[in-house]
Structure 1
Amino acid sequence: MDEVHFTQALGDIFEHTPAIAQKAWPQRPFATVEALHQAMVTVMQALPTEDQLRLIRAHPDLGTKAKMADSSVQEQAGVGLDRLSPEEFATFSELNQAYRDRFHFPFIVAVKEHTKTSILAAFRQRLTHDAATERQTALAEIAKIAGYRLGALVQD
């Protein structure tokens, strides 16, 4: 596989940020999927703060009806965020807005590790963080999400 195909195949592992796959390419060969994931996470962590914030902001709000990447749609549907009651939708909308108002980026969580109830608890708990802590938490969650996406796409 050449660099162009590698970047095309893995470009959306990190939400709409193919530059991460492109920057990981020179580190090949990757002995395992985990080694590939770690190389990509290292690239993400080394991005300048503004690029990290762009990556964070590329993620959709949880439980929203807005257009989002297919992988995000599937991940959110897996925990029922596509089937919220009107009350649940209102709660998610309020928390999404409070979180955006506080941190200026969307709340990000690896939904595969959660239920609707635990996501709401995480929202409330993380709203108490300072901005620097929450940026690092968001990046850690993005790394988890990317690991799940990569594992679903690539076999050892």
Structure 2
Amino acid sequence: MQNQQAVFNSLDEADFVSLFGSIYEHSSWVAEQVWRQRSEYPQGYFDDIEKLKVAMRDIVDQSSDEQKLMLLRAHPDLAGKAALIGDLTNESKSEQAGAGLDQCTDIELAHFLQLNDAYRSKFGFPFIMAVKGATKKQILAGFEERTPNDLETEFTRAINEVHKIAGFRLADF
């Protein structure tokens, strides 16, 4: 693994962004900014995938609320319309399938669609949950727990969930 990771430091921008641009859903700007700021990090910093995770997280955390909102809006609904028409990234498709969201009954699917619409209507972005290792029941409980939140609380929670998703994706390297 160390030899594979050592290659990350030697990538040019296009290859780096190609490899890490999907870590944050439809938001390759995160990988682009990490690559552009690589001179601020010690030599060999990205030999450690955990350090790359921190660098990417820092980029997001230091971005404007508008950029964060765009990042949140780049995520698909869970068991939502994008899934129904097959318009998910490979990563999202795998994550949602792992939680059984590709196996919803018609009644479950209708319930998810209703919850997604209510959540999006209230907050202006999709319900985001790192679903790796979660069940449909846990995801539904997440909707119930989080939908009553205020916007500031939920915005912060959604960003933290995005970071968890990114962490899972980076761990797959």
Q: Does the alignment reach a TM-score above 0.5?
A: yes
Helix, strand or coil for the counterpart of 1:82?
Answer: helix
Q: Which residue of 108, 122, 132 corresponds with 1:102?
A: 122
Residue of structure 2 equivalent to 1:39: 55
Amino acid corresponding to residue 55 of structure 1 in structure 2: L
Distance 2:127 2:109 in 1: 15
1:56 partnered with 2:72:
yes
Q: Which runs of 4+ in 1 moved over 4 A?
A: none
CA RMSD of aligned residues (A): 1.1
Q: What do the CA deviations read for 1:93-129 (whole angstroms, capped 9, x no partner)?
A: 1100110110010000000141100100010110011
CA distance in 1, matches of 2:159, 2:130: 11
Partner of 1:87: 107
- Identify the residue that residue 139 of structure 1 maps to in structure 2: 159
**SS of the counterpart of 2:126?**
coil
Aligned pair count?
A: 153
Alignment counterpart, residue 126 of structure 1, candidates 110, 133, 146:
146
* Partners of 1:113 and 1:95 in 2: CA distance: 21
3-state SS, counterpart of residue 78 of structure 2: coil
Larger Cα-atom Rg? 2
Q: Aligned match of 1:20 in 23, 27, 30?
A: 30
* 1:116-152 alpha-carbon deviations (Å, 9 max, x no partner): 0010001011001100111110010000000111111
The runs of 5 or more residues in structure 1 that have no matched partner are none
| 1:117 and 2:133 are equivalent in the alignment | no
Deviations along 1:47-84, whole A, 9 cap, x unmatched? 11111000000000001214111110110001110110
Counterpart-to-counterpart distance in 2, 1:46 and 1:114: 29
Q: Which amino acid aligns with 1:43?
A: I
Distance 1:79 1:30 in 2: 31
Task: State the partner residue of 2:8.
Answer: none
What TM-score comes out, normalization by structure 1 length? Answer: 0.94
Mapped to 2, the partners of 1:3 and 1:60 lie a distance apart of 27
Amino acid in structure 2 at the alignment position of 1:17: S
What are structure 2's unaligned runs of at least 5 residues?
Answer: 1-10
TM-score by length of 2: 0.85
